[in-house]
Structure 1
Amino acid sequence: MMLSLENKQVLVLGLGDTGLSALRWLKSRGAVLSVADSREVLPSVHKLQAEMPEVSITLGAFKPETFANAELIVISPGVALAEPEVQAAIARGVKVVGDVELFAQYRNPSAKVIAITGSNGKTTVTTLVGEMCKAAGLKTVVAGNIGLPVLDALFQAEQAGDTPDVYVLELSSFQLETTNSLIADAATVLNISEDHMDRYESLHDYAAAKARIFEHANLQVLNRQDVWSDGMALPELDQITFGADVPKVTTDYGLLSKDGKLSLAFGQQALMPVSELQIAGLHNAANALAALALCRAIDIDFEPLLVVLRRFKGLPHRVEWVAEIANVAFYDDSKGTNVGATCAALAGLNAASDKKVVLIAGGDGKGQDFSPLRAPVKNKARAVVLIGRDSELIAAALAGIPVPQIQASSMEDAVKKAFVAAQIGDAVLLSPACASFDMFRNYVHRAEVFIAAVKDLSMRQAQMEGV
């Protein structure tokens, strides 16, 4: 049932991009608006005051009086539902929704929706699906956790009087917590591994938030190699599965090997050689298969999908090749901010050879269990170079594995030590398994420092060799 917004007292929590987009759209719907953010200083305040001077703004710790008149609360993903004042409002009967829920209620139902979540790979898959839909000639809007807030996407469509053919949505667990009405033509949970354990009591709670994406979906796309994703199959829905293994039935997606050549496959039909993908690693082959499954679910032919896969170069800071120095390749996976991402990167890199990886890891661990790193580190790592606040926790989790651990004081130090530890043909992989905020502004800044250190090393090495 669609929420009534005209003349309703609506409190928006959070003044980031999502909050600003909600305020813009809610204003267009005639709501009486106020906004609160627990941070004391925000650059976005000046932008809001210039754009919507009528909006009441409260900064600093949430207080009861800020919530007193709210008839509806629109909560940003960065604000936890567990906030005491939010819980008090819920107890009083105040409805709390997120931007995705408002989008779900108010979007034009003639537009198709492909919804994507998961611990790792969701931005890559969302981008791929968006490019595939565009290549097929569909009027496509890519939105959500990927950058463009869903209410900005909706507002733009409403203002233009132009409904897209398809919305491709990347959704986080935080967004899904407050989403109840989203009807997706096809939806996926790509995988589940520990992340945001500083916000969830257990991995089960985190997975349950992700699984909400399927509540009103028409089709589930599941990762048969991920016990959490595979376990989310609902008896009332149809499923298609993908995995970096042989498809089990003719409607599934996977990998086939023939004459030593590995191919993406639909059932027993080989679609294209994995070697023609420009994105590295078996985990990216799985991402490609997920994107194919989602697009085929809305009846797009294979031809434009495979064209996109052959030209897609991947996204920055996701197992991205940086340089090669003295036959040692350097890869930037700074976006690998949780254990699952780093496990996938380790397993996928140099998968077809016996070459080893020197891993650079560490940072803000967000309360994760690092023990799942043990197997891929033992199997693939030449050495592990540790940085950041939780480096000792990673070291403890890897104790007893016959792989050298090397402590580094900075990213520059880590790059130098990783190069020394590497042998000819090895790869040095920055895949921290951690957030970046203990040492860097964000994961992009961390990547920039890594790349600069690699370039400096390359220059010094060239000078030593007299090149």
Structure 2
Amino acid sequence: MAGAFERVAIFGAGLSGQAAKRLAIERGMKVCIFDEGGQGDEANFDQQSLHAFDAFIFSPGFAMQHPWRVLAEGVTKPCYSELGFAAQYWRGQLLGVTGTNGKTTLTSLLCAGLEGAGHVAVAAGNIGSPLSDAVLGAVNRSDAYAVCEISSFQAELSEGLRLDGLIWINFAEDHLDRYANLADYFAAKQRLCSCLAPDAPCVLGASVVAFDPAVADISHCTLVAQATEPVEGLEPHSPFYQSPQSENFALAASLWRALDLPLEALISRANTLQLAAHRLRQVEVWGEVSFWDDSKATNFHAALAAMDALNEQKVPVFWIGGGSP
């Protein structure tokens, strides 16, 4: 059990590392942060360091091939992500959202919908708020929900993570600077399926099943959501009324029904939710030309989804790309 640890090593002195440190100290553990940039307690970790700790907590930036992670995973002591470490102390329900694209939007919608249904809810994880901080806050109660955006980096170390529901939105080429191939990238995300509590619903997007049809057999509770016509009650101004967000809403609605939550609350919040910045939003009009900002589309899958959505307007589309070569 995590509570039995006396000394833990935390790797990375950034946002998640510092949050894990606060939680570990609050739980009575002694902590040492290892950070290559010199921002932690130590800048070097070697074979001799292993014996001084009961468990290891890694920030998302530490890939599987990193020497420190190879050392830690080479012994029988637990290796956690910040998310998995914190999950052991979360008292309420824990929902996960993963996928190549659309995670932040869907996490925000689910959290808003839960609040609209009268529940206490908090968004955490890759969305920018470590789960450790939620655990330390007043929101950590048995009747609360934590909706966690989970990247493949966080999913690699699934120790301690137990999910009461999961949405895997989509799957497409990405992060091949970290993974040797698409199969390895897929496998990292698929680890979350083994974290599901008994009878917990798992909703899969069509592109996930298209990459590996066997993933649909992971549980008798697995649901494969398909794109549908706009749901009754969704208003035309809602960001979820048309593609690509209409497909994301179908996934959310599938999980919602499986959790026996009132769909009206989800629809109501979908009609009022404002998408985070740089997510396919019209920012200017000049004459008959409209300008759209979709700069969060940092891979081909996201960019193509935006192009498809704008092509539905039956007008010429000019794409302006940029960034590092």
Q: TM-score, with normalisation over the residues of structure 1?
A: 0.64
Following TM superposition, by how much is the alpha carbon of 1:122 offset from its aligned partner in structure 2, in angstroms?
Answer: 0.5
Q: Distance in 2 between matches of 1:235 and 1:92?
A: 29
1:242 aligns with 2:225: yes
Q: TM-score, with normalisation over the residues of structure 2?
A: 0.90
Match of 1:302 in 2: 263
**Deviations, residues 131-156 of structure 1 (Å, cap 9, x unaligned):** 00000000111111111101111121
Alignment of 1:54-133 (within 5 A): 57-59=41-43, 62-64=45-47, 67=50, 69-108=52-91, 111-133=92-114
Alignment of 1:184-263 (within 5 A): 184-217=163-196, 218-226=200-208, 227-228=210-211, 231-244=214-227, 254-255=228-229, 263=230
- AA partner of residue 331 (structure 1): W
1:354 aligns with 2:296: no
- AA partner of residue 58 (structure 1): E
Following TM superposition, by how much is the alpha carbon of 1:5 offset from its aligned partner in structure 2, in angstroms?
Answer: 3.8
Match of 2:21 in 1: 23
Secondary structure in 1 matching 2:311 = coil
Q: Distance in 1 between matches of 2:293 and 2:241?
A: 12
Following TM superposition, by how much is the alpha carbon of 1:238 offset from its aligned partner in structure 2, in angstroms?
Answer: 1.6
Q: Distance in 2 between matches of 1:290 and 1:120?
A: 13
CA contact (8 A) 1:176 1:213 kept: yes
Q: Residue 153 of structure 1 is aligned with which of 134, 137, 143?
A: 134
Paired-residue identity, %: 30
Cα distance 1:279–1:331, how it changes in 2: closer, same or farther (>3 A)?
farther
Q: Distance in 1 between matches of 2:291 and 2:213?
A: 34
Secondary structure in 1 matching 2:195 = coil
Cα distance 1:288–1:161, how it changes in 2: closer, same or farther (>3 A)?
closer
Following TM superposition, by how much is the alpha carbon of 1:280 offset from its aligned partner in structure 2, in angstroms?
Answer: 7.2
Match of 2:277 in 1: 316
Match of 1:137 in 2: 118
Following TM superposition, by how much is the alpha carbon of 1:279 offset from its aligned partner in structure 2, in angstroms?
Answer: 5.1
Secondary structure in 1 matching 2:278 = coil
Following TM superposition, by how much is the alpha carbon of 1:231 offset from its aligned partner in structure 2, in angstroms?
Answer: 4.8
- AA partner of residue 115 (structure 1): G
Following TM superposition, by how much is the alpha carbon of 1:285 offset from its aligned partner in structure 2, in angstroms?
Answer: 0.9
Structure ranking higher on relative contact order (CA contacts 8 Å, 6+ apart): 2
Secondary structure in 2 matching 1:12 = strand
Following TM superposition, by how much is the alpha carbon of 1:168 offset from its aligned partner in structure 2, in angstroms?
Answer: 0.9
Q: Distance in 1 between matches of 2:2 and 2:48?
A: 24
Equivalences, count: 321
- AA partner of residue 122 (structure 1): K
Match of 2:35 in 1: 37
How large is the RMSD of aligned CA atoms in angstroms?
2.2
Alignment of 1:414-453 (within 5 A): none
Following TM superposition, by how much is the alpha carbon of 1:30 offset from its aligned partner in structure 2, in angstroms?
Answer: 1.5
Secondary structure in 1 matching 2:236 = helix
1:174 aligns with 2:174: no
Q: Distance in 2 between matches of 1:321 and 1:176?
A: 33
Cα distance 1:35–1:139, how it changes in 2: closer, same or farther (>3 A)?
same
Q: Distance in 2 between matches of 1:202 and 1:225?
A: 17
CA contact (8 A) 1:140 1:164 kept: no
Following TM superposition, by how much is the alpha carbon of 1:93 offset from its aligned partner in structure 2, in angstroms?
Answer: 3.2
Following TM superposition, by how much is the alpha carbon of 1:236 offset from its aligned partner in structure 2, in angstroms?
Answer: 3.2
Secondary structure in 2 matching 1:188 = strand
CA contact (8 A) 1:114 1:166 kept: yes
Following TM superposition, by how much is the alpha carbon of 1:319 offset from its aligned partner in structure 2, in angstroms?
Answer: 0.5
Q: Distance in 1 between matches of 2:243 and 2:9?
A: 45
Q: Distance in 2 between matches of 1:311 and 1:66?
A: 51
Following TM superposition, by how much is the alpha carbon of 1:299 offset from its aligned partner in structure 2, in angstroms?
Answer: 1.4
Cα distance 1:337–1:177, how it changes in 2: closer, same or farther (>3 A)?
same
Following TM superposition, by how much is the alpha carbon of 1:291 offset from its aligned partner in structure 2, in angstroms?
Answer: 1.9
CA contact (8 A) 1:117 1:170 kept: yes
Cα distance 1:13–1:235, how it changes in 2: closer, same or farther (>3 A)?
closer
Q: Distance in 1 between matches of 2:282 and 2:240?
A: 10
Q: Distance in 2 between matches of 1:320 and 1:354?
A: 17
CA contact (8 A) 1:115 1:171 kept: yes
Unaligned stretches of 5+ residues in structure 2: none
Cα distance 1:92–1:224, how it changes in 2: closer, same or farther (>3 A)?
closer
Unaligned stretches of 5+ residues in structure 1: 46-56, 245-253, 256-262, 265-270, 364-387, 390-467
Cα distance 1:93–1:278, how it changes in 2: closer, same or farther (>3 A)?
closer
301-310 vs 235-244, greater mean Cα deviation: 235-244
Following TM superposition, by how much is the alpha carbon of 1:165 offset from its aligned partner in structure 2, in angstroms?
Answer: 2.2
- AA partner of residue 283 (structure 1): P
Q: Distance in 1 between matches of 2:309 and 2:212?
A: 20
CA contact (8 A) 1:279 1:312 kept: no
CA contact (8 A) 1:224 1:241 kept: yes
Q: Distance in 2 between matches of 1:173 and 1:161?
A: 25
Secondary structure in 1 matching 2:20 = helix
Cα distance 1:274–1:232, how it changes in 2: closer, same or farther (>3 A)?
farther
Q: Distance in 2 between matches of 1:187 and 1:140?
A: 16
